[in-house]
Structure 1
Amino acid sequence: MIVVGLTGGIGSGKTTVAGFFKVHDIPIYIADVEAKQLMVRSKVIKRKLIALFGEDAYDDGELNRPFIASKIFNDKNLLDQMNAIVHPKVAAHFKRWLKKQEGPYVIKEAAIIFEHQNENQYDFIITVTANVEERIKRVMHRDSSNRSKIEAIISNQMSDEEKIEKSHFVIVNDNLEDTKKQVQQTHLALLKAIKKLKN
């Protein structure tokens, strides 16, 4: 099965773009959503996260996201330790999911493909970009977060220019109607590229 990575910085609109691919009957795997669900479902992850963060990591059996976010925000070591617990489980879950899928290709949406040097796990990579001001507004609206916090996250992420250089396709998500057209074009280009691969 051909695996297409879909990535982009915070607020670029990866999930919106993934939804437009779904219209073309392409199976979509959102790594962040699955990770959050596994952090609640998996007893192993739960136990390890409590050992790492303490009892406050969970509140009434649910993941205490604000608490964890505050812990990892300025502590890269803690973030790396959390990722080392969660990411292997997500990767295993994705492999099981992949076996059940049908279609010309699947899309795996993941924010940090390049940051973790995971490019080799994908046949093609699409980067979603958007105007920085628009990205900040989206995240402020979505997460009720403040501007300086979002700007700090953006400055810590790999730049769009670097991501674009490493990608096979780019979708500029500044205007929804235009984004839909770009998804359609990218879908057709992917089908063509996959056909070439198989010949």
Structure 2
Amino acid sequence: MSVVIGLTGGIGSGKSTVSGLFKALNVSVIDADVVARQVVAKGQMALKKIHDYFGPDILIEGELNRPKLREIIFADPEKKNWLNKLLHPLIREQMLTQLADAKGDYVILEAPLLFENKLETYCDYVVVVDIDEQVQVKRASARDNNSIEQIKAIINSQIERQLRLQKANFVIENSTISLLQLEKSVIALDKQLRALQ
């Protein structure tokens, strides 16, 4: 099995951009958010169970009504707990299968909540994309069209920046650099990661 590199960072840190730069270097990237969508796709058993539990309003044309589900589980911790118990094992199993099937010197597991969901236990090393909080709030609110208060609430629900940095093996600093400089950082890190065999 390839060396597994966890890739994480707070909201608006540029994690997806970094992940895209790794993909451009022919590195396999398993995205936890994509896997989470796959397990509740049309025709999946998990979607049927969600439909049975939450009722027909939870679907739109056979697809999961994500905004409606989000609304329900934020208002009801018991329902959120039920959903987590259903989905977390399925997501983990699917991620581990994809990680085992990945080829190359190393594979990246991209997860915004890597530490919060204890996914670092599946990683040999962790890369954190780090960003100054003021820049983070500005970027994330511009990108997602969310209020600054909403972005700050999301930041506060994630692991503290200092703790995330303490847990990192490698850090990509992304507060003030251009895309070209970011690309150079990723290319340099790629060389280091390939040498970890």
Aligned twin of 1:60? 61
- The alignment of Structure 1 onto Structure 2 pairs a total of residues equal to 194
Which residue pairs with 1:10 in the alignment? 11
What is the rounded CA distance, in whole Å, between the counterparts of 2:163 and 2:54 in structure 1?
Answer: 33
Provide, for residues 82-103 of structure 1, a one-character-per-residue CA deviation record: whole Å limited to 9, x for no partner: 2322222222222332343221
* 2:171 corresponds to 1:170: yes
Q: Does 1:143 align with 2:141?
A: no
Distance 1:189 1:80, change over 3 A: farther
TM-score, scaled to structure 2: 0.86
Contact 1:40–1:61 under 8 Å retained in 2: no
* Equivalent residue in structure 2 for 1:189, among 186, 189, 192: 192
The 1:2/1:95 distance shift into structure 2, 3 A limit, reads same
Q: Which amino acid aligns with 2:136?
A: R
Give 5+ residue unaligned stretches, structure 2.
none
Q: Which amino acid aligns with 2:186?
A: V
- Aligned residues of 2:141 and 2:147 also touching (Cα < 8 A): yes
Displacement of 1:166: 0.8
Cα distance in 2 for partners of 1:72, 1:13 equals 28
Q: Which runs of 5+ in 1 are unaligned?
A: none
Distance verdict in 2 for CA 1:144–1:57, change over 3 Å: farther
Structure 2 CA distance, aligned partners of 1:162 and 1:114?
10
Separation of aligned partners in 2, 1:150 and 1:75: 22
**Residues of 2 paired with 1:125 and 1:75: CA distance?**
33
Residue 65 of structure 1: CA displacement?
1.8
Residues 146 and 165 of structure 1, relative CA distance in 2, 3 Å threshold:
same
Quick one: distance in 2 between partners of 1:183 and 1:46?
37
Determine the structure 2 residue equivalent to 1:98. Answer: 99
Change (3 A) 1:168 1:75: farther
Counterpart amino acid of residue 22 in structure 1: K
Partners of 1:91 and 1:5 in 2: CA distance: 14
Alignment of 1:150-161 (within 5 A): 150-161=151-162
CA distance in 2, matches of 1:40, 1:180: 33
The alpha-carbon deviation at position 36 of structure 1 amounts to 1.4
- In the aligned structure 2, how far is the partner of 1:103 from the partner of 1:116? 25
3-state secondary structure, aligned to 2:39: helix
**Would the aligned equivalents of 2:42 and 2:62 in 1 still touch at CA under 8 Å?**
no
TM-score of the two chains, using structure 1 as the length reference: 0.86
CA–CA distance in structure 2, aligned partners of residues 49 and 138 of structure 1? 34
Distance 1:60 1:141, change over 3 A: farther
Q: Tell me the amino acid that sits aligned with residue 158 of structure 2.
A: Q
